[in-house]
Structure 1
Amino acid sequence: MTSEIIEGRDWYEKLEGVLDKEILFLKNVNDEYLWDILNKQSLNYIYKNCLNRPWLNQFSLAVLCATDRNLSPASINNMLSTLNARFQDIFISLELNQIEDLNYTHIHLYISGEICKHHSDRQRQMFISYYKSFLFNVSKWVKNRIDLEQQEYFTSFLLPEFPFDNRDYKSRGLAVTSAQKKRKDESSAVAPLLPSIRAECHLRWNQVKRLREITNEVIKKVQNENLPLPFSFNYEESEHLNERLYFTLNKNLDNEFYIEFIESKNLLDGSQGDGLWFFEILKNRLLGAWSNLASNKRKTEGISFLEKWGHDTEENIHPFQSRNPGVLTQGFILTRSQQYNGSRLFINVEPLYIACMFAIFAMDIQSYSGARINEILQVSYDPDCCFITDDGKNTTTKRNYIFKLIPKGRETEENYYMPESVFKSLLMIVKELKNHYNSDTLPQVNYSISSRKHLISNERKFVFQYNNQHVNQFTLNSIIRFLTHGLIIQSVEGKQVILTTHLLRHAFATHAAQTEKLPIDIVRQLLHQKDESVTGYYAAPTHVQISGTIDSLHDNWMTYIDIQQEILRSPKELKEIYEEYKEKVGTMSKVVGGICTIDSVCPTKMACMGCAAKVPQPEFRHEIEQYYAWAQESEKRFKELGLELEAKKMKLAMRRTKLELREIDGIEMYIKDESYEPNIQFQKEN
């Protein structure tokens, strides 16, 4: 195809005369221009950040090769933005001008920390990882896709190789150790707060549901009564927020409804309220790839806000970016209107509602199972995924609610047991999706995680889908960050913790192993973990837990005959423990204060109070309170008898009972909030 035929293409207009012509006209095996299929975000990044850089040809070739090799857009974007930022630092520090000036000694100076001393070990480790990925992808692509006579030409655009392994640098070891410590500290902060985090997220979900219901009610009223726009309305939020929120309804240039937040008033004293938790995200215009079109001033302000809330903007400057249209995204016209009206707050409610719907469902699944993100995204509305069975071992029939999912490292499905509430949420989402598609069924879509596609090759009715596209893992983490924004979760060092699906899994494992004292081999079963050594890392005690238990260890030191025997279990002992625990509690069976969700051996020998496998139920609160009263009385009696160890056991039982009562308090709070009916007031604009 000649240049005259492609002159209308945007990439040709911007890159012609700037980029090497051979790279400009690269095609894939289907005779498609690679620039046509490069993801838009990478393309825009090159336009904005690379056109005048000495490494434009090298980076352009790299992203085209990665695209042709089907690397995910997220991987390509991360590689591109990280390498571009570090190359700028290296070139400035060493006063390099041309790409030909760069050699492996310059790379060595950066990785070893001799230049850019303010950079973290993690930044250096990320750079070397992406640099080696760059070299690998381009060299492999050139050898496999380019004719022999042209290979020498394209090889000239390879970055210089360096004769070192990244393991040769202390920055790698320090980065890995630092990352592990950070995860343990964050897990330690999150684990004790899991019940309150779940309760708060459900309250927020209720708030978004109410906002959507009221907005739709106002839209219907305006349409039915042919009322002029803008149209004002307000309503009282529940006692959890205790504010009256004021809005106006309007339409954008595409004739689509949106609302504008006007103000919020405290119902107690009439003072200015804070509004809903996500208002400050929208006010700061931080949804999507916000920095790409931001002025330097606004970019500085945005980074400052994000870092205040614990976001690592070097690693991810767009924490609330969705890769799924219609999920969290506000739309081009409304986003542009917000840019030109910075002091006003425009809201497209539906994408926020959809985002929170998926986020709360994912968090519930993870709270009850510790499932990985790729397992959560496998949930589909298909008969071979969702099961409801009856447990015949009880006099009163109990139902088992099961997802069949393929764990990491396996090739066949395993059972993930859920409480009934999770299945009710699933049916709610299915209903919403059917309404969205205006159909009595869900469409079948492709699974989005490429590393598991060989196991899930067929299209399915995935529950995590929207606009005929499977929700990907990048989007899921973004909407969880959105739903949990502003929750005060701090490490022992006072640093704000950002929730992700991986961190929630760590917290689940930490809670099960360190708080509930479940044996590692049992925790491995709960987590569907293949390698027990990995489970051991997940569940390793944190500094906070060690310091919190050292006094008790000293108190009880003399009660142990052989400490080493308690710590190090032999295969024979493990077999004995397994046999001891072999007595099962029926799946979803009624236990004290709730229901049991484990389908394997009972991890606590039926000491159900505080067990991670139990789901407390508000209707059984009285049982837990009775148990607490019994433990309290028993503690007093054991102390009087001088049985200190038995008294400590009762004290531990009381503490676990209090935790369950706190969890039930949270459940009751968001159930009450869910049924709240706000008082809506309408007022037409003059």
Structure 2
Amino acid sequence: MNIQEESNSEYYWHQKLKGKIHEDILNFTNPSDWGFVHKDIIDYFERNCIGYVWTNNLAIIMLARTAYAHNDFQTVKRSISILNNRFQSLYKELNIQSIEDWDPDVHLYAYLNKKVLVEHSENQRFELLKKYNSSITTVRNWLTSRMDFSLQERFKQFLLKRCNIVHSISNQKKVLHLSQSHRKNETDAIIPHYPVIRGEAHFRWNRLHRLYTKFNELIEKITPTTALPLEFNYDEEQTGVRIFFRIWDRPSFTIAHRNRYSRYSIESAKHRQKAYSNDNNEFFLELVKVETQDGSRDTEGFWFEDLIRESVLNQSPSSGSEEQKERKKKFLMSWGIWRSR
């Protein structure tokens, strides 16, 4: 371990990405620049962007967009996501084996002109070109403003190739017009159902608000001597159901489910150290069951239970085995909310 690497090793980004991106990106960039990169971005990158021939290129883009351009969390995540997802599709479709084989003037041109991946929308194609070009500009500006010439030369290997395709204003207007027309058609289809949707939204908000209020009332009463999990229930008069919950914190949940955690995690939980310290602790809910108020039978609970049960929240649809991902895709398609990436 060299001196620079040793001085960086204590940082979150270094711990998460060491051995997963090129060591020069970790050790010859300014730690203060990495300090601008939100932990959630680093976690997202580690989960989704590691192990590809373009991983180092995206790492530089992530760093430049955050530290130099000061893009917000969602902008950085969306930029990385679009590039990563489209690269996966294009490299597979065009059988591109390395980043050196990538030629945007050939491959991106074919994509923009619907020669490949014909199922992708105009907006998906335009978004890739826009994020690709803006990312290249941001990275080059960052390098020239923050690094001397020798380091710029060292980092050239991580730069995406320039794209010389000129996407005309008329094409951009076409994409915008198609997008607006599509949104209008979708809106027109919803308007007749708006009163019902609005009523259902109020109903669901009120249910969650009651749960949120009850949850916070109980948390306020929890002390260091309170045994967790803490069980409670309440009645939903409007629906005639009784809902049962448990409140956990991180240590109590880990200890109770010790077969799913390492010995190190269990010991840390017992002593409330490191990830299980009071500073890192938080409370969360487990929905145990829902039954009729007379207790005669189980019944339906919250409308979002299937989303949790099918693991389709957040980034979960793209995780798991091919069989699991296909099952999640079918579930989302059954609700009309699947969109190819």
> SS of 2:168's equivalent?
helix
Q: Which structure would you say has the larger Rg?
A: 1
The superposition leaves residues 284-338 of structure 1 with CA deviations (integer Å, 9 ceiling, x where unpaired) of: 34444435765554444444333433334446xxxxxxxxxxxxxxxxxxxxxxx
The superposition leaves residues 584-612 of structure 1 with CA deviations (integer Å, 9 ceiling, x where unpaired) of: xxxxxxxxxxxxxxxxxxxxxxxxxxxxx
What is the aligned partner in structure 1 of residue 81 from structure 2? 81
The 1-side partners of 2:46 and 2:10 are apart by: 17
- Tell which deviates more after alignment, 139-148 or 15-24: 15-24
One-letter identity of the residue aligned with 1:7: S
> Post-superposition shift, 1:112?
1.2
Verify: 1:52 aligned to 2:51, yes or no. Answer: yes
CA gap 1:307/1:175 in 2 versus in 1, 3 angstroms: farther
What is the aligned partner in structure 2 of residue 244 from structure 1? 241
What is the aligned partner in structure 2 of residue 464 from structure 1? none
Verify: 1:142 aligned to 2:139, yes or no. Answer: no
The 2-side partners of 1:206 and 1:300 are apart by: 34
CA gap 1:145/1:312 in 2 versus in 1, 3 angstroms: farther
> Post-superposition shift, 1:247?
0.8
CA contact (8 A) 1:112 1:169 kept: no
> Post-superposition shift, 1:180?
1.1
CA contact (8 A) 1:55 1:99 kept: yes
The 2-side partners of 1:143 and 1:74 are apart by: 25
The 2-side partners of 1:309 and 1:147 are apart by: 53
Verify: 1:262 aligned to 2:264, yes or no. Answer: no
CA gap 1:262/1:19 in 2 versus in 1, 3 angstroms: closer
> Post-superposition shift, 1:149?
4.3
CA gap 1:174/1:305 in 2 versus in 1, 3 angstroms: farther
TM-score normalised by L of structure 2 = 0.73
Residue segments in structure 1 that go unaligned for 5+ positions in a row: 316-686
Match of 2:334 among 308, 311, 314: 308
CA gap 1:277/1:266 in 2 versus in 1, 3 angstroms: farther
CA gap 1:196/1:167 in 2 versus in 1, 3 angstroms: same
What is the aligned partner in structure 2 of residue 158 from structure 1? 159
The 1-side partners of 2:291 and 2:244 are apart by: 9
Structural mapping, 1:499-514, within 5 Å: none
What is the aligned partner in structure 1 of residue 7 from structure 2? 5
CA contact (8 A) 1:139 1:155 kept: no
The 1-side partners of 2:310 and 2:60 are apart by: 36
TM-score normalised by L of structure 1 = 0.39
> Post-superposition shift, 1:41?
3.3
One-letter identity of the residue aligned with 2:66: T
> SS of 2:92's equivalent?
helix
CA gap 1:61/1:266 in 2 versus in 1, 3 angstroms: same
Verify: 1:290 aligned to 2:291, yes or no. Answer: no
The superposition leaves residues 252-295 of structure 1 with CA deviations (integer Å, 9 ceiling, x where unpaired) of: 4446473423133498xx77533232333333344444357655
One-letter identity of the residue aligned with 1:245: R
What is the aligned partner in structure 1 of residue 305 from structure 2? 279
> SS of 2:290's equivalent?
strand
What is the aligned partner in structure 2 of residue 678 from structure 1? none
CA contact (8 A) 1:41 1:77 kept: no
> Post-superposition shift, 1:17?
5.5
> SS of 1:2's equivalent?
helix
Verify: 1:176 aligned to 2:203, yes or no. Answer: no
The superposition leaves residues 47-100 of structure 1 with CA deviations (integer Å, 9 ceiling, x where unpaired) of: 334332222222111111111120112111111121112112222222222211
CA contact (8 A) 1:303 1:313 kept: no
What is the aligned partner in structure 1 of residue 255 from structure 2? none
Structural mapping, 1:444-523, within 5 Å: none
CA gap 1:116/1:244 in 2 versus in 1, 3 angstroms: same
What is the aligned partner in structure 2 of residue 101 from structure 1? 101
CA gap 1:220/1:26 in 2 versus in 1, 3 angstroms: closer
CA contact (8 A) 1:26 1:34 kept: no
One-letter identity of the residue aligned with 1:24: L
CA contact (8 A) 1:142 1:151 kept: yes
The superposition leaves residues 390-410 of structure 1 with CA deviations (integer Å, 9 ceiling, x where unpaired) of: xxxxxxxxxxxxxxxxxxxxx
The superposition leaves residues 359-392 of structure 1 with CA deviations (integer Å, 9 ceiling, x where unpaired) of: xxxxxxxxxxxxxxxxxxxxxxxxxxxxxxxxxx
CA contact (8 A) 2:133 2:163 kept: no
CA contact (8 A) 1:135 1:158 kept: yes
CA gap 1:280/1:311 in 2 versus in 1, 3 angstroms: same
Match of 2:24 among 22, 25, 47: 22
The 1-side partners of 2:18 and 2:227 are apart by: 53
The 2-side partners of 1:286 and 1:164 are apart by: 37
CA contact (8 A) 2:243 2:301 kept: no
The 2-side partners of 1:293 and 1:38 are apart by: 23
One-letter identity of the residue aligned with 1:23: I
CA RMSD of aligned residues (A): 3.6
CA contact (8 A) 2:246 2:285 kept: yes
What is the aligned partner in structure 2 of residue 201 from structure 1? 201
The 1-side partners of 2:176 and 2:327 are apart by: 31
> SS of 1:181's equivalent?
helix
> Post-superposition shift, 1:176?
2.6
Structural mapping, 1:324-403, within 5 Å: none
Q: Percent identity?
A: 26
CA gap 1:246/1:47 in 2 versus in 1, 3 angstroms: closer
> Post-superposition shift, 1:127?
1.1
What is the aligned partner in structure 1 of residue 186 from structure 2? 186
The 2-side partners of 1:227 and 1:153 are apart by: 57
The 2-side partners of 1:214 and 1:254 are apart by: 22
Residue segments in structure 2 that go unaligned for 5+ positions in a row: 253-282
One-letter identity of the residue aligned with 1:40: K
What is the aligned partner in structure 2 of residue 539 from structure 1? none
CA gap 1:222/1:85 in 2 versus in 1, 3 angstroms: closer
> SS of 2:300's equivalent?
coil
CA gap 1:154/1:259 in 2 versus in 1, 3 angstroms: closer
In proportion to residue count, which structure has more helix?
Answer: 2
What is the aligned partner in structure 1 of residue 63 from structure 2? 64
> SS of 2:210's equivalent?
helix
Q: Larger relative CO (CA 8 A, sep 6+): 1 or 2?
A: 1
One-letter identity of the residue aligned with 1:81: S
The 2-side partners of 1:9 and 1:227 are apart by: 35
CA gap 1:287/1:116 in 2 versus in 1, 3 angstroms: closer
- Tell which deviates more after alignment, 181-190 or 227-236: 227-236
> Post-superposition shift, 1:221?
9.8
> SS of 2:158's equivalent?
coil
Structural mapping, 1:637-656, within 5 Å: none
One-letter identity of the residue aligned with 1:243: G
The 2-side partners of 1:125 and 1:308 are apart by: 28
One-letter identity of the residue aligned with 1:52: G
The 1-side partners of 2:55 and 2:146 are apart by: 21
The superposition leaves residues 134-167 of structure 1 with CA deviations (integer Å, 9 ceiling, x where unpaired) of: 1221122223222244434434433222322222
> SS of 1:208's equivalent?
helix
The 1-side partners of 2:310 and 2:123 are apart by: 28
CA gap 1:194/1:105 in 2 versus in 1, 3 angstroms: same
> Post-superposition shift, 1:131?
0.9
One-letter identity of the residue aligned with 2:198: R
> SS of 2:6's equivalent?
coil
What is the aligned partner in structure 2 of residue 407 from structure 1? none
CA contact (8 A) 2:83 2:132 kept: yes
CA gap 1:245/1:282 in 2 versus in 1, 3 angstroms: farther
